[in-house]
Amino acid sequence: MKIECKNLQHIYNKSNPFEKIALDNINLEINTGEFVGIIGHTGSGKSTFVQHLNGLLEPTSGEVIVDGISTKTKVKTQIRKNVGLVFQYPEYQLFEETCYKDIQFGPKNLGLSEEEIDERVRWACDAVGLNYEHMKEKSPFELSGGQKRRVAIAGVLAMKPKFLVLDEPTAGLDPIGRDLILSQIKNLYEKEDITVILVSHSMEDVAKLCNRVIVMDNAKVFMDDKPNVVFSKEDELKEIGLSIPQSTQVVRRLKENGLEINTDVLNVNEAFENIKKAMEARND
Ligand code: ADP
């Protein structure tokens, strides 16, 4: 199964003075099994792009095809089943009296039996680390910010999507809430076989989690490659206002200052190992 974008273009306010090309000729494929990070400066087109993946927005021209079905189709049920989209600040869209009702909203609309719905709500609560019994009768409005967000994510997961698209899922959370959500997303990818597409401002998170990085700039795909390849292009990223992970920066600075070191590093552990090796080689 895959998502294909063919000559995808999106223009807001077409043919009026506020016209804005938000996506310009995007051509790419996302296959199941990938963990894709999407990075780019504010306004580069990331949110507009991900809202095309489940047909929430339709291309002005070109096409997005999910498992063989164009998102321009009138009946989008199959596409919404396959691609779950978690918006920025998804908790603002909680509206039911209880968490249970909110999480079951999607599966109920699919016409599943009560038992199937209940099984999915339990699974989704578990996947985001919420206690089903404890949450069931609670109003989402009684919960903390991080818990509300996890209820909102559970609502999307309850549709059992093959592709999970998350637009800045950790925005505004404290470090503990952040780490919790990221580890749950990692778990979903590794244990539940869900393909993940993650929009993030954190180069560290993208370097740590993703096996492919799409860099957007000014409505276009600027780079699309493996994390170590993308983050080796420090100067090009700098030109479009992006940095590289701090651990990569450290080893690059050491190399610039004369240390013979392998700079292919994406996290603190790898940086530590390479610095150790370089120092040992120097002392020999
Ligand atoms: P990002 O997610 O990278 O910050 P967006 O996709 O939100 O980028 O925005 C891309 C461009 O489209 C920006 O110039 C933004 O101002 C514009 N834009 C986004 N949403 C709308 C909208 N609903 N109406 C008009 N312009 C929009």
Could you tell me the distance, in angstroms and rounded to a whole number, from the CA of residue 41 to the centre of ligand 1?
A: 11
pTM summary value: 0.96
Average model confidence (pLDDT) across the chain: 95
Would you say residue 86 has pLDDT above 90? yes
- Ligand 1 atom, smallest distance to 48 CA: 6
Could you tell me the distance, in angstroms and rounded to a whole number, from the CA of residue 58 to the centre of ligand 1?
A: 14
Q: Which of 23, 48, 165 to mutate to test the pocket of ligand 1 (most atoms within 8 A of CB)?
A: 48
Would you say residue 1 has pLDDT above 90? yes
- Ligand 1 atom, smallest distance to 47 CA: 2
Whether 52 lines ligand 1, by a CB cut-off of 6 Å, is no
Is the distance from CB of 215 to CB of 223 less than 8 angstroms?
Answer: yes
Whether 13 lines ligand 1, by a CB cut-off of 6 Å, is yes
Instruction: Let me know if 160 is exposed, middle or buried by CB neighbors in 10 A (0-12, 13-18, 19+).
Output: middle
Whether 22 lines ligand 1, by a CB cut-off of 6 Å, is yes
Q: What is the average per-residue pLDDT within 259-266?
A: 95
Across 11-15, 90-94, 274-278, least confident range: 90-94
Q: What's the pLDDT score for residue 145? A: 87
Is the distance from CB of 53 to CB of 45 less than 8 angstroms?
Answer: no
Q: What structural domains does the chain harbor?
A: 2-244 (3.40.50.300), 245-284 (no CATH)
- Convert the pLDDT of each residue in 204-255 to its tens digit: 999 999 999 999 999 999 999 999 999 999 999 999 999 999 999 999 999 9
Alpha-helical segments (H) within the chain = 46-52, 77-82, 99-109, 114-127, 132-135, 145-157, 175-191, 203-209, 227-230, 234-239, 246-256, 268-283
Q: What is the average per-residue pLDDT within 181-186?
A: 96
Whether 218 lines ligand 1, by a CB cut-off of 6 Å, is no
- Ligand 1 atom, smallest distance to 167 CA: 2
Whether 88 lines ligand 1, by a CB cut-off of 6 Å, is no
Would you say residue 111 has pLDDT above 90? no
